[in-house]
Every structure is written in structure tokens, then in C-alpha cells.
Amino acid sequence: MTTNLQLSLQITALGMGLVFGAILLLWLMMVILTALTADKEPASDSTEADSQTQANPKLQVALFAVAMALTEQDASSAHPLEQPPTAIVSAWQLGMRTRQMSEKGNRARPSRS
């Protein structure tokens, strides 16, 4: 019986080792591929963005339009409409409406014999 237990533990350890080994191999491959395909020259984001904005007048107009829309949205006095109060129906009105609806329903259906 101990041999069965030992064999099952060995198979379990081998399986787990293969799984973790494959995970580590994939991780190593991702690190290598990232290092190979990364940009070699460091780019300064602020200077490039400033030069693109100054060079492209359409981009300046778009940025100005977005800024204006955000300003107007903040300054807007519009507010959502409130729901109107629900109509209060008395028990008598409810009974009368129910009777009327049932009478209309009986006239619309042909009687079955």
C-alpha cells in the first residue's frame, strides 16, 4: 500500500512540476520577446505632445472644442426633470374602473356555446 501512495505522490509531483515549468518557460519567453521588441530610444512624452500640438492646427481646434464642451457641461444649469406625483386612486374609483374594464372585455369576446 505504501508503494501505491508513493507512486501517486511521484505522479502528482511530476505533473505539478511540468505545469510550473511550462508557466516559467512562457514567462521567460515573454520577457525575452518584450526586451527584443521594445523601443530602443527613450521618448520624452511632453516635448513630442507639444510639438504635435503646435504643428497640427486641426488638433488644436479639437482640443479647444473639448475644453469648451467640458466647461459648458460644468456651468450648465440644466437639471433632470422630477417624476410627477402618482395619481391617488380611491378604492371606489378602482372598483368602478375594474368593472368597466371587465364589461368591455366581455363585449369584445364572442360567447362560446
Answer yes or no: are the C-beta atoms of 59 and 52 closer than 8 Å: yes
Question: Looking at the domain assignment, is residue 101 inside a domain?
Answer: no
Q: Which domain holds residue 22?
A: 1-35
Q: Which amino acid is at 35?
A: A
* DSSP symbols for 19-31: HHHHHHHHHHHHH
- Count the domains in the chain: 1
pLDDT of res. 61: 86
User: Does the global pTM surpass 0.75?
Assistant: no
pLDDT of res. 23: 97
Average confidence score pLDDT of the chain: 81
Question: Looking at the domain assignment, is residue 25 inside a domain?
Answer: yes
Q: Is the pLDDT of residue 112 over 80?
A: no
Across residues 17-21, what is the average pLDDT? 97
Higher pLDDT, 15 or 74: 15
Question: Looking at the domain assignment, is residue 75 inside a domain?
Answer: no
All three cell numbers of 110, joined, read 364572442
Alpha-carbon span 55 to 49, nearest angstrom: 10
* CA nearest neighbour of 48 among 3, 39, 4: 39
Question: Looking at the domain assignment, is residue 44 inside a domain?
Answer: no
Q: pLDDT digits over 70-79, tens only?
A: 888 777 666 6
Question: Looking at the domain assignment, is residue 60 inside a domain?
Answer: no
Alpha-carbon span 7 to 14, nearest angstrom: 11
pLDDT of res. 29: 96
Question: Looking at the domain assignment, is residue 41 inside a domain?
Answer: no
pLDDT of res. 52: 60
Question: Looking at the domain assignment, is residue 27 inside a domain?
Answer: yes
